[in-house]
Amino acid sequence: MLLIAVLNALNGYFNNKEFNLTKDFRISLFALIFTHIQLVLGLLLYFTSPYFASWQAGGVMGDSFLRLVLVEHPFINLIAVALITIGWSKHKKVLEAKPKFKRIAIGYGIGLILILLRIPYMIWFD
């Protein structure tokens, strides 16, 4: 959903389209809602994960896998969701279409890149 919102914003920006409240607004809003729901579910999984018990054992920062799963992934995703929310908030303050698309593309795009960079892909193949 986030990728669709970024591509839609880039398409609108580069093709000088009008910001459509029925299509562009909804795509961006649904991506924002989906991202926030994913954040809440991720936090629930984080605190109920068996990896979370590793905090008490110590040595999290010394183990690259545990550092990725317990520190880097959650905090980078929190930053990404904050940037996505800022992009959404900033787009509402302008009236012209091109700056709206630009602010969504930048906020959502940087957020998407951060999320993709810190996914612990190696867990998928265990």
54 pLDDT exceeds 90? no
Domain that holds residue 79: 2-125
Domain count, the chain: 1
CB atoms under 10 Å from CB of 120, counted, come to: 12
Q: Which residues contact 61 (CB under 8 A, 6 or more apart)?
A: 67, 71
Would you state the pLDDT for residue 121?
Answer: 83
Q: What is the pLDDT of residues 6-30, one digit of tens each?
A: 999 999 999 999 998 889 999 999 9
pTM over 0.85: yes
